[in-house]
Amino acid sequence: MPKIVTTPPANDDAELLRGSLVTLRRRCGKPNCRCATGEAHETPALSYSMDGRTKTVTLREQDLADVEAGLARYGQAREALEAEALAGIRALTNRVAARRQQPRR
């Protein structure tokens, strides 16, 4: 069962969120509801994986801006980390290549 976020988000610019923003669509089961004839109820949610399982946090509309910003910060941090890792790989391959250029003893 999805968890419902009830506390207001902290204005912490350093908050990173990993996952995907999804829209849950469901029917409530009431025979006279609009969802009975077609248009399902929609709820925004954050979907993420933890320990090999997919988890879902149900959100309110007021949470969307903070969640989108946290997801964007995570993407930026991941890109920066990837760039650092590639720079490290280049440095390593350059050291190995330079070592191979040296004559053996």
- pLDDT tens digits, 25-73: 999 989 899 888 888 999 999 999 999 999 999 999 999 999 999 999 9
Distance CA 64, CA 68 (A): 6
pLDDT for the residue 104:
79
Kindly state the percentage of the chain with pLDDT values over 90. Answer: 71
Higher pLDDT, residue 9 or 105: 105
Distances (CA, A) of 66 to 4, 9, 59: 15, 7, 11
Is the pLDDT at 7 greater than 60, yes or no? no
Among residues 78, 44, 82, the alpha carbon closest in space to that of 61 is found at 44
Kindly state the percentage of the chain with pLDDT values over 70. Answer: 87
